[in-house]
Amino acid sequence: MTKLKLTYLAFDSSTRHLRLNPHEPAFFQNPYAAYAFMHGASNVFFWEEFGFWCFGGFDDVSRLLRDRRFGRHNPAGIPDRSGAGEDRTHLSSFDGIEANSMLELEPPVHTRLRTLVNRAFVSRQVERLRPRVEALANDLIDRFEPGQVDLLPAFASPLPIIIIAEMLGVPVEMGPQLLDWSHQMVAMYMHGRTRQTEETANRAAHDFSDFLRGHVAERRKKPGDDLLSLLISAQDDGQKLSEDELVSSAILLLNAGHEATVHQTGNAVRAILAQGGDPPRFFTSPQTTTATVEECLRFDSPLHMFTRYAYEEIEVVPGILVRPGETIGLLLGMANHDPAAFAEPFAFRPDRADQKNVSFGAGIHFCIGAPLARLELQVSLKTLFERLPRLHLAEQPRFRDTYHFHGLERLVVHSGQ
């Protein structure tokens, strides 16, 4: 095993095995240093701490996201904390939600669910939200106290949860509770979770489900023009969503509708402020605003690993064989910094000609909420920097110890007011 310049990792080039603790502060504070090294050593490696092969090249990740020989459906559910098939009765509510989640299913069930949900979640529906997002962004900025403010709880977090709650037609004042349930459920995907993490996630899934079933019952009696009502009425060849499917879909939209956007907003503000100069210069037109948001998505994305299961024996790349049921890791953050795909991959360049990213995935599991996330980022970031052009950091932001979901602990700024 050869020790490398980055003292917190070790890579054996003969076996392509990587030792790198994802909870190592030097790594989760800046995973891009490790990515840069691995791009030079091998884009494909067996990450020992996770126990599966990982792929970090842009072309490999893009291809494997579309490869139907891999999928998200795992009949055994998310492996328990030991990776073994022990008794899962303590995860019955969580597993019940996962069993009907679009994210965890494959065709033909996935196709039917996505078709039904997408009818209530298409780009033209989302575009109508632009004035509401702008009004909400301005309202949140109006509430800033003079001087210092932590943008995560004051701006990045409330905006997407209010928007998705309003879209679904659930009480906006439930926002903090929805966030708690979501955070507790998302913790199931973290490396090294505990039995307590699992029980907390299961309890959150149970309570979240009960809450939504109550609102579904109300909407069945009194439909509105909200997303929940549209999901209830949506049909495909006479087939409707079952109640379990409807609840799982609503939970997925609530969780995905804010979790990644919160992190991306914080990461984007940090990246833009790091460029110095005049931040509003990145938002002078619809074109520059769009380009800036796309570069933020590439430069410091909120989701760094997306796992998939092999459905057959596959030689993924020459010399790397995976068997049915085995997991692979697709490193989205690493792929977005592949020097074979991007000129100056570690530079923030909204005007780059090679602008692309895999931050929303690809293929049949491409993020259904991508149009909403892009719109929220375009409007909120533009509004923030136009309203507060002298915004600057009050302290150096630090990332949370959550490698999969790359986001800041705090983002304390001087408003410049």
Highest mean pLDDT among 99-113, 184-198, 352-366: 352-366
CA 338 to CA 27: how far, in whole Å?
Answer: 18
Closest CA to 305 of 222, 384, 402: 402
Q: Answer whether 378's CB lies under 8 Å from 129's CB.
A: no
Reduced to 3 states, what is the DSSP secondary structure of residue 88?
A: coil
Q: Out of 75-89, 93-107, 109-123, 373-387, give the one with best mean pLDDT.
A: 373-387
Which domains are present in the chain? 87-300+364-414 (1.10.630.10)
pLDDT score, position 76: 54
Task: Give Rg (Cα) of the chain.
Answer: 21
pLDDT at position 194: 86
Say if residues 110 and 366 touch (Cβ distance below 8 Å): no
Condensed to tens digits (0 to 9), the pLDDT of residues 341-397 reads: 999 999 999 999 999 999 999 988 888 888 889 999 999 999 999 999 999 999 999
Q: What is the DSSP letter of 197?
A: H
Q: Rounded to the nearest 10 degrees, what angle do helices 370-387 and 286-299 cross at? A: 110
Residue with tokens 């309570």: 207
Number of H helices, E strands in the chain: 17, 15
Q: What is the pLDDT of residue 86?
A: 65
How far is the C-alpha of 246 from the C-alpha of 227, rounded, in Å? 11
Residue pointed to by tokens 């809450």: 211
Give the model confidence (pLDDT) of 14-71 as tens digits.
999 999 999 999 999 999 999 999 999 999 999 999 999 999 999 999 999 999 999 8
Instruction: Give the C-alpha separation, 32 to 344, whole Å.
Output: 13
Q: What is the tens place of the pLDDT at every residue in 246-284?
A: 888 888 888 776 778 999 999 999 999 999 999 999 999
CA distances from 358 to 20, 88, 101, 104, 304 (A): 23, 33, 21, 19, 10
Looking at every residue in the chain, the average pLDDT score rounds to 89
Q: What is the pLDDT of residue 96?
A: 86
Let me know if 232 is exposed, middle or buried by CB neighbors in 10 A (0-12, 13-18, 19+). middle
